[in-house]
Amino acid sequence: MSEPDIRPIIHEFLETQSTLALSTVNAAGKPETAPVFYVSDDRFNLYWLSATHVHHSVNLAAHPQVSGCIYPTIWEWQEIVGLQIRGTASVINDERLREQILLLYLRKFKLPPAFDAAIAASTLYMLQPTWIRWVNNSVTFGYKAEIDLTQP
């Protein structure tokens, strides 16, 4: 029996979650993790807004290889579900793409008008995944399915 296509499952999961735990490496070679609100596209790219001076932005400017996790808050082991992601992060400078992503972002997150200036001043980043692991203990304890996005 072949594995089911997990891509639609991952797309749906990404739409229902809000926060990426983004892991970067600092100048001393130490890992650091920061929570960021994200939106995603149909190629599993994740986008978030941040200031260029915050730790994770400084870190990824020097070391664009990042990893991350997306998961809901749960209390029972059988409910553990989520994504582990590795890829490359970069700044998005294309204004047209920024406008498209901001529309998605503002639809997903109900932010008050007080955030408008902060959003306008923020830089748009993208994590382009090279590898995704889907974990779902409701299937069976330790269930994992992986996608290698470096392969066509």
Half-sphere exposure of 78 (CA within 13 A, CB side): 1
**Structure-token match 């929570």, residue found:** 35
Q: Is residue 2 part of a domain?
A: no
Q: Average pLDDT in the 138-143 region?
A: 94
Q: Is residue 72 part of a domain?
A: yes
| CA–CA distances in Å: residue 55 to residues 32, 46, 112, 131 | 8, 18, 25, 24
Query: What contacts 61, CB < 8 A, 6 or more positions away?
Result: 52, 91
Lowest mean pLDDT across 23-27, 39-43, 74-78, 110-114: 110-114
Q: Is 25 in contact with 59 (CB distance < 8 Å)? A: yes
Q: Which pTM does this prediction carry?
A: 0.93
Work out the mean pLDDT of the chain and round it to a whole number: 94
CATH number of the domain at 142, please.
2.30.110.10
Q: Is residue 85 part of a domain?
A: yes
Domain that holds residue 29: 7-148
CA-to-CA distance for 125 and 119, rounded, in angstroms? 12
Domain count, the chain: 1
The pLDDT value given to residue 4: 66
The pLDDT value given to residue 100: 96
**What percent of the chain is predicted at pLDDT more than 90?**
89
Q: Is residue 57 part of a domain?
A: yes
Q: Average pLDDT in the 38-59 region?
A: 97
Q: How confident is the model at residue 3 (pLDDT cuts 50, 70, 90)?
A: low
Q: What is the pLDDT of residues 83-108, one digit of tens each?
A: 999 999 999 999 999 999 999 999 99
More confident residue, 34 or 112: 34
Q: Which of 15, 11, 41, 9 is nearest to 108 (CA)?
A: 15
Q: What is the pLDDT of residues 103-132, one digit of tens each?
A: 999 999 988 888 899 999 999 999 999 999
